[in-house]
Amino acid sequence: MSDSADDLAGLSAFAETARHAVAACVPLSMRDRAALLAADGLLGILAPEEAGGLALDIRFAAPVMAAAGAGLLGYPLAESLLLAAAFGNHPEGTAIAAGERIATIAWSGQVSTQSGRLSGTLGRAPLAGEADLLLVDTTDGAALIALDAPGVAVLPAFGFDLEAPEHEVTLKDVTPLATLTADATARLRDDALLLWASAIEGAADACLAMTVEHVSTREQFGKTLVSFQALRHALARQKLAVEHIRAALARHDALAARGASEAALAHRVTFAAAVRFGAASVESALQLHGGMGFTWDVPIHRYLRRVRAVEAQGNAAALHRGLALDLLHANS
């Protein structure tokens, strides 16, 4: 298994590169962020080599997404990784991996197609206001459109995530640049679940570290907060939550590596676990910061916003319904 030693080295190198890049992105414009992330090879991890990518499997995107979650990256990274791979044989895919075009995805809504032209209202498109390209759901898969094409209107941002605000987008008779089959679209959505889980893991772990720091230095009743057992136990639960997400991700990778049929369930379980345990963990981090936790300046709320935004983008509610229905069908 010399492969796995190489893999480990590769994964930790990615993690290191990604941490630096995410930190360096903070003061930059969206265009400059695209250029920097691309220069570090982070946008084309999943894209084929013909498209300038690294053609690696989804495991290698995990540390990058975790770094993006930990550093609250304001860039449609999951979307770029997925679209550069899905359109790897198309010039737009190459441009996305190269950071020349900024691409995002409308995670809710579906357009109708008439004579090859797309119309409808889409939602949950992170950073669509600053992107060039948008993937939209169609009745038979998905289509990539240019956001500056005639008939496209990006509505003002709203939504939870302050670093990656969501937009609604309306399309009226828009001609797509390229399309994806239903199968390719389903694969993309499955892969998104894993990328989001990694982002949540990074966010929850960052909040845990901030909280440990906070309780180790702040004093009340003449003692540091960390000396109070109630708070130590709450921190232990935050750690347990982070470890749940890591374990679920690792199990998915192990199942996928041996081609096990349970890998399909593991995609959904990993996202569901990340959303449930990740949100609880970040909420606990906020609680342990006391009144400071409710201020604008302490960034825990930004992480909570991101986790909840991602929960909605992945439609966790529907995913849970699906898990329950599968359980019922398996026992009918």
Partner 1 sequence: MDTDTLPLRPGLTGEDFRAHVRAWLAANVPEGFLADQPGYRTPDFAACRQWEAAMHRGGLAGMTWPVEYGGHGLSLREHLIANQEIGRLALPESVNSLGKELAGPIIMAVGNEEQKLRFLRPLLEMREIWCQGFSEPNAGSDLAGLRTRATWDGSVWRVTGQKIWTSGAMNAQRCLLLARTGPLEDRHRGLALFAMKMDTPGVTIRPLRQLDGKESFAEVFIDDVEIAAEDALGAPDEGWSAAVRVLSIERATNRMYRSWRFENELNHLVRACRADATLASLINSGEWHRRLAETVVDIEVLKAHVEPVVERLVAGESIGDRGSLMKLHWSEAHQRFAALALELVEQAPPGASAAVQAARQRFQNVYLRARAETIYAGTTEIQLGIIGDRILKLPRGR
Q: Which is nearer to partner 1, 175 or 315 (CB)?
A: 315
Q: Which is nearer to partner 1, 156 or 327 (CB)?
A: 327
Q: Which of 225, 279, 307, 312 binds partner 1 (CB under 8 A)?
A: 225
Binding of partner 1 by 243 (CB under 8 A): yes
Provide the CA 328 distance to its chain's centre, in angstroms: 30
Q: Which of 13, 181, 237, 295 binds partner 1 (CB under 8 A)?
A: 237
Site string for partner 1, 255-274 (x = CB under 8 A): ----------xx--x--xx-
- CB-CB neighbours of 105 under 10 Å: 29
Cβ 64 to partner 1 shortest distance, Å: 22
**How far, in whole angstroms, is CA 253 from its chain's centroid?**
17
DSSP string, 134-175: EEEEETTEEEEEETTSTTEEEPPPBSS-SSS-EEEEEEEEEP
Q: How far apart are CA 134 and CA 258, in angstroms?
A: 34
Minimum gap (Å) between residue 58 Cβ and partner 1: 17
Q: If 0-12 CB within 10 Å is exposed, 13-18 middle and 19+ buried, where does residue 141 land?
A: middle
- The single residue among 51, 206, 226, 286 that binds partner 1, judged by CB under 8 A, is 226
User: Alpha-carbon distance 257 to 210, whole Å?
Assistant: 34
CB of 232 to partner 1, least distance (A): 4
From residue 295 to residue 324, the character string flagging contacts with partner 1 as x (rule: CB under 8 A) and all else as - is: ------------------------xxxxxx
Q: How far is the CB of 308 from partner 1 (least distance, A)?
A: 16
160: left (phi over 0), alpha (psi -120 to 50) or beta: alpha
Tokens of 162: 């302050």
The pairing of strands 141-146 and 133-138 is: antiparallel
**Position 90 contacts partner 1 (CB under 8 A):** no
Q: Which residues bind partner 1 (CB under 8 A)?
A: 212, 216, 223-229, 232-233, 235-237, 239-240, 243-244, 247-248, 250-251, 254, 265-266, 269, 272-273, 276, 319-325, 327-328, 330-332
